[in-house]
Chains A and B, each alone.
Chain A
Amino acid sequence: MREIKKVAVLGANGAMGSRCGGIFAQAGISCMFFARTKEKALLGIDNAVHQARSDILREYITPKTYNELESELPGCDWVFEALGEDKELKKHYFERIDGARKKGTIVSTVSSSLSVENLAEARSDDFRSHFMGVHFFNPPGKLPANELIFHPDNPDELRSFATRFCEENLYRINIVTYNTPGFAGNRIGFCFLNEAVCYAEKYGVDAVDYLLGPYTGRAMPPLATLDLVGLDVYRAIVDYIHGNTDDERHDAFIMPQYAKNMIEKGLLGRKGTTSGGFYIKGENGERRTLSPQTFSYGQRNAIEAGFVEDTKRCIHDGEYKKAVDIIKKERSTEGDIVRHFILGYISYSYSRIGEVTPAEHGIHGIDRVMAYGFSWLPPSGWVYLFGGPSCVVGMLEDAGLVVPVQLESQGADEHCTVPDVQKYLIAR
């Protein structure tokens, strides 16, 4: 019977590596955190301890350097790879792992966009059959979604073991996805986010984040989200998806030129030391906003739209149906923009059923990844709030958006299985 007693985490000094490794340690599993130096590995351990809010975790994690990889791997049951999103770097380490691991050791990659099958090519049969994608979301201590990406060489036993283990031992909410660019969450999420960046060029950063703010069902406004993700990471994701897919929204993944220029100027978002992204902190700690035209930062544009404030008030009082009705009925350019994005999100999500997640899972896998991986109101939650599939079909037709057959065929009684969708409507 398969048991996981020891895990090796590669890239353990990074945010993903340290936090994902911490999740294994929290399950009481002995972990080795690998980094270029012991000091970096120790920083990763600090990160894991802070995530768990317990110094006890230190008893489960040992710092290691990559020099020790070949001597330590034979004792491992799982190798969790969380190196940078660099295909050649990963392949280099997978070759080393292949040469050192014992047969049957699981090897997984946390990569969010590289092809899982492609990463394992040229590896041994045993490596390939035990290799899979295990894509946690950052931070995994707060976001329990886990995209599981299997490939044809994975036997059923491994698939069921990994699924059960991630759920029962690591407390993940699993979403089985296909090995498609961006898997499910990033494919859908970044379609929305990139389009928001495009709109910001015309309407302004503040206006877009105001209109598509938390009251529309997401924890953070879109451009603030991208500052957190990092514009370089955002670019890598949309470029990869654009270069490797061809769906009805293909052009929505083209990063606008001004955003590319931001990256060239070092405006990467929060990770930059002094430079900002779409926003920057001013001398007095106030938030200043980027002009996409001049790349200078100015005072925040305190815009306000009556229907947005009315919607927030209704959400504040728990009158969610009234709030959604306001969004449905608002006749203005701003109202059209809000509906375009929410309906576009619904349309794109439903259209991906069968392509990014198995058709037999319906919308539920996509619902789970958007709720538990992005903290966004899941798409079928919006369908329910808007009044059901036939109502939303009408709204999509009015908005000139694609009507997915997967939505048309959804039963009127079929509800969103993510509980408490109203908690994603935030009155800000």
Chain B
Amino acid sequence: MARKVYILGGYQTDFARNWTKEGKGIAAMIREVLDGGFSETAIEPGDLDAAHVGNFAGELYTMQAHLGAFICNYHTVLRGLPTSRHEAACASSSIAALMARAEIEADIYDLVMVVGVEFMKSVDSKIGGDYLGTAAWYEKECMGVEFPFPKLFDRLYDIYDEKHGVKYEHLARISAINYDNAKRNSKAQTRGWYMNLQHACSTGNYNRVVGKRLRATDCSQVTDGAAVIFLASEEYASRYAMRNGIKIDEVPYIQGWGHRTAPILFDDKEEEARANDYALPHTRDAITDAYTRAGITGPAELSCIETHDCFSITEYAAIEHFGLASPGEGYKRIEDGSIELSGGCPVNPSGGLIGCGHPVGATGARQLLDAYLQVSGKAGEYQVDGAKRVATLNIGGSATTNVVHIIGKGA
């Protein structure tokens, strides 16, 4: 049986900040998120055995690669620490977490830090849109295309419309819920923004169509931000729990995980979508792998889900891929209120990528942090009552890399 891997907590930066306007560089972002992480958890930097950094495109946005090395820059006691950087587009820090988990399961290390970081507001939106295109097959799908990603996900919208029919107001409802949840999240990028269902359903100067049908309100944000979590072996976690006066049964741990990669070309994904019940079969496989590893049968055993809503249509797909509804019937969970904060299985109580923000390489770590906060009862105003088990889905590219984690507590 695999060794348990606990999450001891972490920290995220305020996703509303614009670090370029503050005149700061990516080194400052890494330094601040580590400051916050060590402070929040009271873990000593010297206790770390290794660190993994998730980052999508530091070389493009900031002309800085080799980000693992910046961990050692934080404090002299970290010099010599094994570090690395992982890239899988928007799933970068989930991949970093998978590696950290594997090292602890393999009894190589006891305490491993996972940091996700992305610094995106250094360039204007057109250039940023071009950089994001490198998460797809750039040459074939994005080169010369303005804002390619909304157009790619519009094709997912088309698939759903063809297979099952989609009412736009269901997508608008997803956006409205996520923006509303974000108002309760003091770190969410959009917490001060004006947004409601009426605005999401409107089009015009302030809510333009950015793809074929997807609108600005359907899109996740361009965000500067970082998140850090600490993964630990049972031995370290037990000592940590005792030191902090908590029972080990109350400390969240990774109960299951899934990791699948789909073909990178959306044309190939389209073919698979037509041939399968589930539009994104590899996403579905990653989820069912996670359920199996966690020893659960489905979403009835989940308290809530933090899913990858890079666009509203992606969350629309996730609702059924998690099994909250049969294929084609995800809209029922929107209509009956299940996915709202007060519903049976809230989705994105943090606000998700649409509401909280999407610093690409940091999103996976941020989702895991939010899962930890929910299970620990520390999610403040967006706490899901009695949350015991939370699933996260982190997707890289156009549903290419798919990573699922299930976080829970207890025996």
Contacts and interface: CB of A to CB of B under 8 A. Distances in A.
Interface in A287-344: 312, 315-319
B17 A423 contact: yes
B14 A423 contact: yes
Nearest to B198: A56
B206 A312 contact: no
Contacts of B196: 28, 56
Contacts of B207: 54
Contact of B23 (A52, A54, A55, A214): A214
Given A54-B206, A56-B202, A420-B14, A426 B31 contact: no
Contacts of A258: none
B17 A317 contact: no
A141 B196 CA distance: 16
A243 B26 CA distance: 49
A53 B206 contact: yes
B194 A318 contact: no
Given A55-B202, A419-B186, A144 B192 contact: yes
Contacts of A199: none
Contacts of B22: 423, 425-427
Interface in B6-34: 13-14, 17, 21-25, 27-32
B245 interface: no
Contacts of B206: 49, 53-55
A395 B32 CA distance: 27
A72 B171 CA distance: 39
A428 interface: yes
A317 B31 contact: yes
B31 A56 contact: no
A419 B14 contact: yes
Given A56-B196, A56-B199, A56-B202, A316 B32 contact: no
A423 B24 CA distance: 9
A426 B204 contact: no
Q: Is the interface of A mostly helix, strand, loop or mixed?
A: loop
A427 to B, nearest CB: 3
Contact of B25 (A26, A56, A316, A419): A316
Contacts of A49: 206
Interface centre among B25, B32, B204, B206 (most CB of A within 10 A): B206
B279 to A, nearest CB: 31
B357 to A, nearest CB: 15
Interface centre among A56, A316, A422, A425 (most CB of B within 10 A): A56
Which bucket holds chain A's interface residue count?
20 to 34
Nearest to A52: B194
Interface in A372-428: 419-420, 422-423, 425-428
A319 B17 CA distance: 18
B194 A55 contact: no
B194 A54 contact: yes
B199 A316 contact: no
A171 interface: yes
Contacts of A55: 202, 204-206
Contacts of A312: 23
Interface in A30-78: 49, 52-57, 59
Given A56-B196, A171-B192, A420-B14, A315 B24 contact: yes
Contacts of B27: 317-318
A53 B14 contact: no
Nearest to B202: A56
Contacts of B193: 53
Interface in A142-163: 142, 144
A69 B195 CA distance: 31
Given A53-B194, A53-B206, A54-B199, A318 B29 contact: yes
Nearest to A49: B206
Nearest to B73: A317
A316 B198 contact: no
A51 B202 CA distance: 17
Nearest to B35: A318
Contacts of B32: 318, 422
A180 B23 CA distance: 37
Contacts of B17: 420, 423
Nearest to B19: A423
A54 B202 contact: yes
A322 to B, nearest CB: 11
A49 B194 CA distance: 10
A317 B202 contact: no
Nearest to A423: B17
Interface in B189-245: 192-196, 198-199, 202, 204-207
A427 B23 CA distance: 5
Contacts of A317: 24-25, 27-28, 31
A425 B24 CA distance: 9
Contacts of A427: 22-24
A419 B185 CA distance: 14
A15 to B, nearest CB: 18
Interface string A159-180: 0000000000001000000000
29 contacts: A28-B196, A52-B194, A53-B206, A54-B199, A54-B206, A55-B202, A56-B196, A56-B202, A141-B192, A171-B183, A315-B28, A316-B24, A316-B25, A316-B28, A317-B27, A317-B31, A318-B24, A318-B27, A318-B28, A318-B30, A318-B31, A318-B32, A319-B31, A419-B14, A420-B17, A423-B14, A423-B17, A427-B24, A428-B23
Given A171-B183, A318-B25, 4 more contacts: A53-B193, A55-B202, A55-B206, A312-B23
